[in-house]
Amino acid sequence: QVQLVESGGGLVQPGGSLRLSCTASKSIFSVNAMGWYRQAPAKERELVARINSSGSIMYADSVKGRFTISRDNAKNTVYLQMNSLKPEDTAVYYCRAADSVSPYVFWGQGTQVTVSS
């Protein structure tokens, strides 16, 4: 079982920055992959960024060049640095862990990001 806790969301003006944190209850080095997803009201949840245990990273096209995913294995924490934020980035952001044991996928509770002037 993997438990995830997100933090760092809030209200920011367009062009501003936020850093989200996701802390796991077990070593993230032993987890297959961790990622950030987001879901706006009445929208499907979508992948934002993902990093696997080897450090391979993937970003959604909409955030490339603006967002950076990183990890701190000693703290069992994955970060999402979000720069040049746009109103369309407004959503609830969820941390996701993909593990090798059932139920395989674990989600955090989500943290709200609102980009507005």
Instruction: Determine contact, residues 105/96, Cβ cutoff 8 Å.
Output: yes
Q: What are 79-115's pLDDT values in tens digits? A: 999 999 999 999 999 999 998 878 889 999 999 999 9
Looking at residue 28, its pLDDT comes to: 78
Is cis: bond before 103, omega within 30 of 0? yes
Q: What are 27-84's pLDDT values in tens digits? A: 877 788 999 999 999 999 999 999 998 889 999 999 999 999 999 989 999 999 999 9
Q: What are 21-34's pLDDT values in tens digits? A: 999 998 877 788 99
The residues, any chain, with a CB within 8 Å of residue 30's CB and separated by 6 or more, are 53
